[in-house]
A and B are shown apart, each in its own frame.
Chain A
């Protein structure tokens, strides 16, 4: 259960060593777009040495390069039991299969008992249509939307309102939910527009996204707030669960019907509130 995933350039020691200080539920050490081609080797080495001495409290994801000449060197260099999942850019089923195979081999060779997950990055029209099958692949623990590449593929403009990504968001969220994996929303790229970020995150959440990526530490708090249960929701859920103990079957609260789906919703809110220390 996560709300925020903060991208951290894998060749930036100052950010890497402070990864836990930004309050993100997960950190994404980025070996792909955040690292220049001529610095890939330095980033891999830095991350490998970092993993030897640090154990972040946040969930740890690594975004690798999907190019054939870089994927295996990335994995070979940084593979560690500190990693929870690998984010695969421009994912399709074949690439996910190759990644899964490589991870299983490394888990065996390096004798780690942990299973490292895969989060396909959905960045094309084809991948959006394949979201359900990608989410159902062995080893996949989440889906992430990459809106910049997706809209480039669609030859459509990105907007602040995000109307153009409503469909992929919804499709990815539903595919993720159907397969019981997380759905991570694309980052909001204007780091100076906090209101815009809050609105964008709220739209993603309303469509079923379970978390959102951040590209700057200052975005983390806003994302965490939007993806956390609100005080009124926690208060309502508490009352629903208290009354459900005394009632059998359907009952009424504040003049509204409460049945099993409503009770389940209340349980989820309380579970999240406890997880995020809001109770």
Chain B
């Protein structure tokens, strides 16, 4: 199955895994989910929409990443998935 991974579990980073799926699904694991979970989801949804990508399962293990980091990691993971 096509899969793309980018990022790390270091502080201020996130580990994003994307893989093809029948419908778009977003899974988020974050120690600050209660405060920022919805914001992380919004960044992922917006980035997927801008990239014109649907039918992907996105897993984001967050370690306090800023929006720009989540976006960058997701875009790279998508690009890596497309290369496979």
Contact = CB atoms under 8 A, between A and B. Distances in A.
Q: Decide if A and B are genuine partners.
A: yes
Contact of B72 (A12, A14, A42, A54): A42
Contact of A42 (B7, B10, B12, B68): B7
A46 interface: yes
Contact of B10 (A14, A50, A53): A14
B77 to A, nearest CB: 9
Interface residues of A, number: 14
Contacts of A52: 68
7 contacts: A13-B10, A13-B12, A13-B65, A13-B66, A13-B69, A41-B79, A53-B68
Contacts of B80: 41
A50 B7 contact: no
Contact of B68 (A12, A41, A50): A50
Nearest to A42: B76
A71 to B, nearest CB: 19
Contact of A48 (B10, B72, B79): B72
Contacts of A42: 6-7, 72-73, 76
B12 A49 contact: no
Those 9 A-B pairs whose CB atoms lie nearest each other, nearest first? A14-B12, A49-B72, A49-B68, A45-B72, A46-B72, A13-B69, A45-B76, A13-B12, A42-B76
B75 interface: yes
B63 to A, nearest CB: 9
Nearest to B14: A13
Contacts of A48: 72
A233 interface: no
Contacts of B68: 46, 49-50, 52-54
